[in-house]
Structure 1
Amino acid sequence: MLRSFSYVTDHTGFCGTIKNSASDFVVTEIEVPEHLLRDTRAESLQKTSEAQLEPSSLCLQQPKKQRTEPPSPCAEGCHGGAPSPSERDPSCAGGDCSASPNKKQPEGEPELRSGLEEASMLDSLLGKPMSELLNKFACDLKDAWDLENNADAATREFSLGPILDKKDRADLHSAVRQKFPFLVTVTKDNEMIVKGNADYRELCQLVTEKETSDFFKFLDAKIENSTFSFAPDGNKEHRKVVHHFINRKFGRLLETKSFTVTDVNDQPNMSIMVRFREKSWSRKRSAGGFQEKQDLYTDFSYTGIKDKKAITYQPMVVKKVTPERLKEIGSKMEKKGMRIHNIHSACQHLRLGQLKGNHFDIVVRDLKHHSHDSSADLKERISEAMENVETKGFVNYYGPQRFGQGQNVQTDQIGLALLNEKMVKAVKLFFTPEDTDDPVNNAKRYFLQTEDAKGTLVMLPEFKVREKMLLRALNRYGVNHEGCTKGWLNIPHSMRIFYIHAYCSKIWNEAASYRLKIYGSKVVEGDLVFSEENDESVSLNDKVHVVTAPEESANKYSIKQVVLPMVGHSIKYPSNKVGQWYHERLSKDELQMCKFRVSPLQLNIPGCYRPILKNVQNLSYFLEGSEKGIEIEDNHLNAPKVSLHVSFDLDPSCYATVCLREIMKCDF
């Protein structure tokens, strides 16, 4: 996919082979320290559908009515906090858990973390523009609530449009309520409507808004055996009003009781504790309430997808599995090629993109000169290459593994067919076999020859989950446009949009190569540069600036500040030859009128921006013979047993194979 593409460096490079074995390519994820997660910003401009940690305001304002009593230490942090391992409920290992009522959480941390995650979910499900409109509606509604005699505040509604997929609707219901506890969502003929939560507003008149927000998040999370406590309240009549409110509104789900606590002055006081009734778990939610109970499930979450042929180290969170259980099955996992280390409880899951980057330890074998290089000094060639890339960086291409390296049909081709809404063609491309004789490819050949979905299902091994999900729908609805559309809808949203993203990545790679060929490393008028503005109220497009002629003359920007758009419906293009190239390239693929919304598949592609160049950090290397003690002398590396060991760090969404391509000046 990268042959004939541009380089940013001008050294000669060298040849070699990588991934001779898994141990030659070791990837270690660089984690974001847990105490910094609440301040995480997206380090790159790349925004995927699965994850972008971009915080936004929760629009929570100061309550109009405050308690006369000072809050206890637990009032600000007892909900959603992280207790010590001995206090955690083992059933919540790896998932969400609730703190002990008397434990304090660092102020603000739960809300900020939730805001990061739910903003990411809303952007993914709705697209950035619609997500921003929802945020504006929420803020305007809160402002209206604070105005006296505002009659229309109770009737205001906002439509999120039709959401056909049931799972997407459930995810959206949850994401909206978690980010905006003062809103409720209802569905009318697949159209999702958002409006103010009258119960939330009423409770705000009784307790602080912080407590109200935390209470409704507790209510929506519905974690079995969890409890919620209001701040200590010495006024018996006021406590009675709060008890009556909860019993009147949520009595079928919740029960309350008062218990004695110690306040900030070490004096005894009373507080209201809320917990779920035992029989409430099997009931459905009411209009603003709970969904039907679902079976317990095991869910793995992680922050990044790693190379298939490599040894990789990364944190993972497993929901509904205790640390003890993981330790018990450790030996069984090791037989399958997976080792589990540092097992401990966690109180939040992981999301794609929630990492600082990756550290790579790579061995390049079979070192030799390029065929056109007459130099005998290969060691000098290696040194020159390392210094050059360390100084100038590398072109930030998407790596070949994003497109299905070596396959007869690559993922971007399927993505293009989906964007053109050619559903049958996309299915046929999906089932195009490789040139090998094995059960999977034999099953694919059989399907293309017969369109017998049921027979193909029998032939496919169980691990081909994606193929089987699609075939089940094809068996039911037929291999026609409607049937294939329903087939694609039968696989998860993240898998459907993966193919679209592959096509967008291919276009970005071609655009980056074109940009460097015609303008080189000079920043020219019409280029797009990114502002490092940290104001969350500024939209992504407003952070992208179009370079002017005076700025070009003054050399105001460097090439490392230049970004190119990933195609979508909410991005702007460069106003120079590169912008024209984008339009011509999309027209070539019959996408000149594409809105980058595939409504039949509920796919929404807003687009984003990606830097043309990236830096490599902490680069180091050494040469080694296959036997210990062998030294490389006289700068000659003719022996095939000499290998290059190279280590470096890369930001998220950067590819080590692309960095090595720049270093070695060869494609893999």
Structure 2
Amino acid sequence: MAGRERGVPCSLSPRAWRSWCRGFWLGAGEGRGAMLRSFSYVTGHTGFCGTIKNSPSDFVVTEIEMPEHLLRDTRAESLQKTSEALLEQSSPCLQQPKKLRTEPPRPCAQGCGGGGGGGGAPSPSERDPSWAGGDCSAPPNKNQRQGEPAPKSGFKEASIVDSLLGKPMSELLNKFACDLKDAWDLENNADAATREFSLGPMLDKKNRADLHSAVRQKFPFLVTVTKDNEMIVKGNADYRELCQLVTEKETSDFFKFLDAKLENSTFSFEPDGNKEHRKAVHHFINRKFGKLLETKSFTVTDVNDHPKMSIMVRFREKSWSRKRSAGGFQEKQDLYTAFTLQKENLETLEAIGFLAAELGVLPSDFSYTGIKDKKAITYQPMVVKKVTPERLKEIGSKMENKGMRIHNIHSACQHLRLGQLKGNHFDIVVRDLKHHSHDSSADLKERISEAMENVEAKGFVNYYGPQRFGQGQNVQTDQIGLALLNENMVKAVKLFFTPEDTDDPVNNAKRYFLQTEDAKGALVMLPEFKVREKMLLRALNRYGVNHEGCTKGWLNIPHSMRIFYVHAYCSKIWNEAASYRLKIYGSKVVEGDLVFSEENDESVSLNDKVHVVTAPEESANRYSINQVVLPMVGHSIKYPSNKVGQWYHERLSKDELQMCKFRVSPLQMNIPGCYRPILKNVQNLSYFLEDSEKGIEIEDNHLNESKVSLHISFDLDPSCYATVCLREIMKCDF
């Protein structure tokens, strides 16, 4: 990291550190407060002043859980509801399905796309010397099924595919499969190996498993991969390679056998008198699927009663120990425990750090549907893996000392997913009510009533709130995200460890690390619950504080945590784009704007549902501002074709991202982008005024400003920020 070479001061007070950090990292650019003040408003009322979050109890957030019947996989809902499943944030953007990398996936021991790599299982010769991949004269057991894949009907598989995908998508899949096979026949068709087809998101775990199996049984030459609930199909390079060694029928039957995974089943290739050819087949299977399968040659007789050798394949014994059931293989049921987490004055990830440290599990073993406010009392469902309900109950009293309570503990069958919520309910108290300094009106109650009616009718700009970026921090999350996008790993680490101007163990440890580059010493100083910091420091201690070491340090943090910083940067750009769009065009929908089509045709991709407004449509006022969306930057979105699109390109260029592909390969991060509506509406809005001293509701128009508080309740969609809604109501920046 070479902190001393860059002028990092060796001994500064916390306050001096704050001054130095701002000067070193932020430069002379526009401050955060100025950026917030540039945000637009939808409504034209005057508003009023007040303070929020005087105490956590003044800001209570309760997650609205999605009803079970809405969790079924209807892809039209999934595109809108799994907001940051692609962004791994809780933002209900309209999302572009991810594209996977173009090389074939690694073989895996569970047969997802074709078997395992090497290692792990005992040598076959250790268990049965005759299964060593060589020739043997002993015939196979007559009771074993030879050359028979799973007894599944092609019609049955086609029916399953049709029922799970729907006819339009099933027909598109058939066309993709046929086109791919045709392309394989053309030796000079270079793009055949990179072709992919998305089946869209599928939330239900059982439906996903059924569809994986049905597609691979119907089309053995395809592989299926799940990425953040989205199912991708593409050509199986292993299938194509085996076709060069044996007939296509044998290849097809072999991959069906591999996918079916029937216990005690075997597969036999056709008799083969060529030893070198048999050797090549042995080597292919051991190289591609050696962790899962083992091979052996047996003497058999052909149709003319001539002795020949045939290769038989069976599953290794160890592979069955992981997944076994009466009817074949099934996924091992993990232990899941669901609960409601109540936290106060804690970040969601910080709370998870406390829980993980106490339970002895990883932070990644926790799942949740969204990040909740820190300066609030929040209630949200969570699920933890590998922890029993009894164990979770045991730590309840300890967690209360950390500002958490655990309610409604019960067993669950699977984890939660980001964005898998209906919304949030807010109960907020605004204190110290008064007029704006420029407002000469004497009737504050009228101002409040006017504000509530306007926002209820017209909504608010759907900005990401300041807590998204680390409100009040010296270095905010979007700055770290920008450094990661630029692949400046060392700078990202420096930003991550930049301390606040407080004298506490966490910030003292950060300050010590930047001054000394002593990762091991900083580790000792950090409290146990600072999980991300400790993960990063352990890698830095092992690999060094340099580009390679910092890269490995970021990789040591769970993917969902490290990509959070990149998404914060994308959110900042979206906020600025929304302000620019409203500033130059206002509420009028103009040519080049993007609007989202509500059509439910499952075969239409997300980008095809995002329509570019034409000049005739602008003249006819065909669309309203509520239908306009703006892209969250990424590699798979399209930009407006008006001045807003030009602004995006200039803004990214300013941050040296004009050539960025929004894939950070060293950190295994892929940012496809999505679409977010400019405006949002508030639901179930209600309010009343209360005398803060007497605790009674006020109904007359004579308010003693200093003694009155405003109680507001409302519901918002996922990823909408209550502070942003309040900003629109009050015309105040927080």
- TM-score in terms of structure 2 length: 0.63
Does structure 1 conserve the Cα–Cα contact (< 8 Å) formed by 2:92 and 2:719?
Answer: no
**2:90 aligned residue (35, 49, 56):** 56
| Residue 581 of structure 1, CA deviation | 1.1
Contact 1:74 1:102 in 2 (8 A): no
CA distance in 1, matches of 2:376, 2:615: 47
Call closer, same or farther: CA 1:293–1:470 in 2, change over 3 Å: farther
Q: In 2, are the aligned partners of 1:14 and 1:664 still within 8 Å (CA)? A: yes
Give distance in 2, aligned partners of 1:8 and 1:96: 79
CA 473–19 in structure 1, closer or farther in 2 if over 3 Å, else same: same
In 2, the alpha carbon distance for the partners of 1:332 and 1:100 equals: 64
Cα contact 1:525–1:548 (8 A) shared by 2: yes
Distance 1:465 1:404 in 2: 17
| Worse-matched range after superposition: 176-185 or 409-418 | 176-185
Give the 3 Å change call, closer, same or farther, for CA 609–281 of structure 1 in structure 2. Answer: same
1:334/1:522 Cα in 2 relative to 1: closer, same or farther (>3 Å)?
same
Q: In structure 2, which of residues 574, 591, 606 is the aligned counterpart of residue 508 of structure 1?
A: 574
Cα gap change, 1:627 to 1:491, in 2 (>3 Å)? same
Distance 1:521 1:316 in 2: 39
Inter-CA distance 241–456: structure 2 relative to 1 (3 Å threshold): closer
Cα distance, 1:321 vs. partner?
A: 3.2
1:18–1:25: 8 Å Cα contact kept in structure 2?
yes
Aligned counterparts of 2:54 and 2:93: Cα–Cα separation in 1: 54
Counterpart-to-counterpart distance in 1, 2:228 and 2:460: 50
Q: Which residue of 2 aligns with 1:449?
A: 515
Alignment of 1:156-555 (within 5 A): 299-327=365-393, 329-555=395-621
Post-superposition Cα deviations, 1:641-664, rounded to whole Å, max 9, x if no partner, equal 311110111111111110011001
Return closer, same or farther for 1:522/1:307 CA change in 2, 3 Å cut-off: same
Q: Distance in 2 between matches of 1:44 and 1:465?
A: 32
Question: In 2, distance between residues paired with 1:491 and 1:140?
Answer: 41
Query: Cα gap change, 1:244/1:511 in structure 2, threshold over 3 Å: closer, same or farther?
Result: closer
Could you report, residue by residue, the CA deviation over 1:345-371 in whole angstroms, capped at 9, with x for unpaired residues?
Answer: 322221011111111111111111111
C-alpha distance 658-372 of structure 1, shift in aligned 2 (>3 A): same
Instruction: Specify whether residues 139 and 642 from structure 1 end up closer, same or farther in structure 2 by C-alpha distance, changes over 3 A only.
Output: farther
In structure 1, distance between residues paired with 2:695 and 2:124:
48
Q: 1:190–1:11: structure 2 CA closer, same or farther, 3 Å change rule? A: closer
Call closer, same or farther: CA 1:613–1:249 in 2, change over 3 Å.
closer
**Could you tell me how far 1:561 is from its partner in structure 2?**
0.5
For the structure 1 residues 334 and 176, does the alpha-carbon distance in structure 2 shift closer, same or farther, using more than 3 Å as the test? Answer: farther
C-alpha change, 1:302 and 1:127, in structure 2 (3 Å) is: farther
Partner SS, residue 28 of structure 1: strand
CA deviations over 1:593-614 (Å, ceiling 9, x no partner)? 2221222222211111110000
Cα distance per residue 1:165-207 (max 9 Å; x no partner): 9999999999999999996589999999987789999999999
Distance 1:184 1:303 in 2: 29
Pair 1:547–1:624, CA change in 2 (3 A)? same
Q: Is the 8 A contact 1:300 1:317 kept in 2?
A: yes
Q: Bigger shift: 527-536 or 126-135?
A: 126-135
Cα shift readout 1:578-603 (whole Å, capped 9, x = no counterpart): 11111111111111222212222222
Q: Residue 43 of structure 1 aligns to a residue in which SS?
A: helix
Q: Which moved more, 1:599-608 or 1:283-292?
A: 283-292
Distance 1:116 1:454 in 2: 61
> How far does residue 495 in structure 1 lie from its aligned partner after superposition?
1.7
Relative to structure 1, is the Cα distance of residues 192 and 606 closer, same or farther in structure 2, using a 3 angstrom cutoff? Answer: closer
Answer with 561-570 or 317-326: which moved more.
317-326
Q: Distance in 1 between matches of 2:184 and 2:314?
A: 29
Q: Is the alpha carbon distance of 1:83 and 1:301 closer, same or farther for their aligned partners in structure 2, counting shifts above 3 Å?
A: farther
SS at match of 2:291: coil
Please say if residues 685 and 713 of structure 2, whose CA atoms lie closer than 8 Å, have aligned partners that are also in contact.
yes
**1:340 aligns to what SS in structure 2?**
strand
> Which stretches in structure 1 are left out of the alignment for 5+ residues?
none
Cα deviation, residue 626, structure 1: 2.4
Report SS of the residue matched to 1:370.
coil
* 326-335 or 299-308: bigger deviation: 326-335
Residue aligning to 2:344: none
Using the TM superposition, give the Cα deviation of residue 630 of structure 1 relative to its aligned residue in structure 2, in angstroms: 3.8
Change (3 A) 1:281 1:538: same
1:340 offset after TM fit, Å? 3.5
CA contact (8 A) 1:303 1:354 kept: yes
Does 52-61 or 329-338 show the bigger shift? Answer: 52-61
State the shift of 1:405 in Å.
0.5
Deviation at 1:316, TM superposition (A): 1.9
Matched, 1:127 2:166: yes
- Range with greater deviation from structure 2 (329-338 or 266-275): 266-275
Tell whether the 8 Å contact from 1:77 to 1:103 is kept in structure 2 after alignment. Answer: no
Of 437-446 and 11-20, deviating more is 437-446
Matched-pair identity in %: 94
Secondary structure in structure 2 of the residue aligned to 1:498: helix
> Cα distance, 1:145 vs. partner?
14
Distance 1:254 1:500, change over 3 A: closer
Partner SS, residue 471 of structure 1: helix
Distance 1:15 1:88 in 2: 78
Bigger CA drift: 282-291 or 103-112? 103-112
1:2 is displaced (CA, Å) by 2.0
Cα distance change, pair 148–307 in 1 and its aligned pair in 2 (3 A): same
Shift in Å at residue 266 of structure 1?
48
**CA RMSD of superposed structures (Å):** 13.0
1:318 Cα deviation from its structure 2 partner: 2.7
Asked if the contact 1:49–1:124 (Cα under 8 Å) also holds between the matched residues in 2, the reply is no
Query: Alpha carbons of 1:90 and 1:42: their partners in 2 closer, same or farther (altered >3 Å)?
Result: farther
Determine if contact 1:220/1:289 at 8 Å carries over to the other structure. Answer: no
Instruction: Flag the 1:647–1:60 CA change in 2: closer, same or farther, 3 A.
Output: closer
Shift in Å at residue 481 of structure 1?
1.9
Contact 2:63 2:424 in 1 (8 A): yes
After superposition, what is the alpha-carbon deviation per residue over 1:272-314, rounded to whole angstroms, capped at 9, x for unaligned?
Answer: 9999999757679999999999998993222121111222222
In 1: Cα distance, 2:377 partner to 2:139 partner: 39
- Tell me, what secondary structure is at the counterpart of 2:152? helix
Distance 1:363 1:551 in 2: 44
Change in Cα spacing, 1:620 to 1:212, as seen in structure 2 (3 Å) is: farther
Structure 1 310/173 Cα, relative in aligned 2: closer, same or farther at 3 Å?
Answer: farther
Query: Across the two proteins, how many residue pairs are aligned to each other?
Result: 667
CA contact (8 A) 1:144 1:153 kept: yes
Superposed CA deviations along residues 351-410 of structure 1, whole A, max 9, x for unmatched, are: 011111111111111111111111111100000000000000000000001101001111
Matched, 1:595 2:661: yes
* Change beyond 3 A, Cα 1:317–1:6: same
Provide the rounded CA distance (Å) in 2 between the counterparts of 1:34 and 1:210: 44
Q: Deviations over 1:4-34 (max 9, x none)?
A: 2110110011111111111111111111111
Residues 602-634 of structure 1: CA deviation (Å, up to 9, x unaligned)? 221111111000000111101111245645365
Deviates more, 1:438-447 or 1:521-530: 438-447
Deviations 1:507-563 (A, max 9, x none): 110010011111111111111111012222211111111111111111111000011
Aligned-pair CA distance for 1:478: 2.0
